[in-house]
Structure 1
């Protein structure tokens, strides 16, 4: 089971999308960016998903500062759809913090969950 902390805008929508995609293979912890960063550092969470209007600003900015830029990535900016090949590349590179625009949650979160589960 993978543990995913969720923060930012539309957290409940993100939680539903993750649970629908991962079922009993995922545990979702709805939180905020500060607590999510602490959960990653302590091992209470394996990944963090955040959403905001732009996909990269408020979605993951605190985590970039607390976890480090090298562990964070925006998978879909405002007006863009996530790309499976790009997400796979970032997962294989060790990224654990994923930001996306709120309009990409329905596609991006399930795609990301699927990739994470297949790359365990």
Structure 2
């Protein structure tokens, strides 16, 4: 599995993904616009973007370029994603995830676990 990372605190998100996946997930740091062709060509499986709110700059370009039905916000300010919510997003076909950067430590492990379980 390969995940493109964009938005704010990219390096922190990358470190959290690598730690939570025990190295099972490959990452590429890019921009939101740079991630779109990667997703469309199948060069990456998912995108995770971070911003202050989790629903603005983290995901808005992806919504416009790959469609709302493939995008979601997994964690807004002050909210950490629940595993059940994340599993539903994945089973509904979401491939681009926005999150508030203040939720990286709590949300990335949940998201990574759900993505790895979905891959099985």
Shorter-chain TM band: over 0.9
For 1:97 and 1:57, the matched residues in 2 are separated by 13
Name the counterpart of 1:26.
25
Q: SS in structure 1 opposite 2:39? A: helix
Question: What's the secondary structure of 1:119's corresponding residue?
Answer: helix
| Residue aligning to 2:67 | 68
Residue 10 (str. 1) matches residue 9 (str. 2): yes
Unaligned runs of 5+ in 2: none
Report the TM-score, using the length of structure 2 for normalisation.
0.96
TM-score normalised per structure 1: 0.96
How far is 1:25 from its partner?
Answer: 1.5
Residue 83, structure 1, aligned to residue 82, structure 2: yes
Which runs of 4 or more aligned residues in structure 1 lie more than 6 Å from their structure 2 counterparts after TM superposition?
Answer: none
Unaligned runs of 5+ in 1: none
SS in structure 2 at match of 1:114: helix
